[in-house]
Amino acid sequence: NGSVFGKDQPIILVLLDITPMMGVLDGVLMELQDCALPLLKDVIATDKEEVAFKDLDVAILVGSMPRRDGMERKDLLKANVKIFKCQGTALEKYAKKSVKVIVVGNPANTNCLTASKSAPSIPKENFSCLTRLDHNRAKAQIALKLGVTSEDVKNVIIWGNHSSTQYPDVNHAKVKLQGKEVGVYEALKDDSWLKGEFITTVQQRGASVIKARKLSSAMSAAKAICDHVRDIWFGTPEGEFVSMG
């Protein structure tokens, strides 16, 4: 719908998966075609890296072993290092040197570093990983507490890895109340919640979602990816900052 790259920017979407999953990927391709999206110029489904990574402007690396109930992200490390070495090498070989790379697969920070080191000719600043989901979760918790929309909350910061050790920081966060921006501490007047339950809720939100639905976050992660890519492409609004790894 143009909310990421602009209302007038056609998109060619390239989908990569392993060979045994090509049947499923073809089903995804058919659904995308059936959406009749006005800006989706073409969809290519492939299991070949030389096709998937050729001349990319943006690479969103979501392919990793998913986290299951009771697993920490460090448990995924060994399996995913191999994946992101391969993808980094493919970026180095086939993608534009100006490509913007967003790593989503967990552990995202480590996977991003692995991919970057495997693509030495692509500038390091072109690599980032997703902490926007945690950022959005923090905004949502504050908005729920105050009875406003998430759009009214800004300048939350997520420090650290995308994991249960992250630290959501609201010292610079602001919320719009009755048309006026005020600091979150001033707006909430509940320091104990901000320094306690709020932090643990954000830190453990991913695990809570997995426990409830037996799967990792899906819709919220997709929305966070869109937010992240849009802000890389266009920049953030004046006076607003966001979280990226």
- Integer Cα distance of 156 and 96 in angstroms: 33
Residue type, 62: V
Query: Catalytic one among 135, 162, 172, 228?
Result: 162
Q: Is 228 a catalytic residue?
A: no
- Cα 149 from chain centroid? 21
Burial 66-96 (b: 16+ CB within 10 A, else e): ebeeeeebeebeeebeebbbebbebbbebbb
State the pairing for strand pair 100-103/58-61.
Answer: parallel
The residue count of the chain comes to 245
Q: Residue 127's closest CA among 141, 113, 107?
A: 113
CA count, 13 A, side-chain hemisphere, 1 = 3
State the pairing for strand pair 157-159/180-183.
Answer: unpaired
> Which residues form the catalytic set?
162
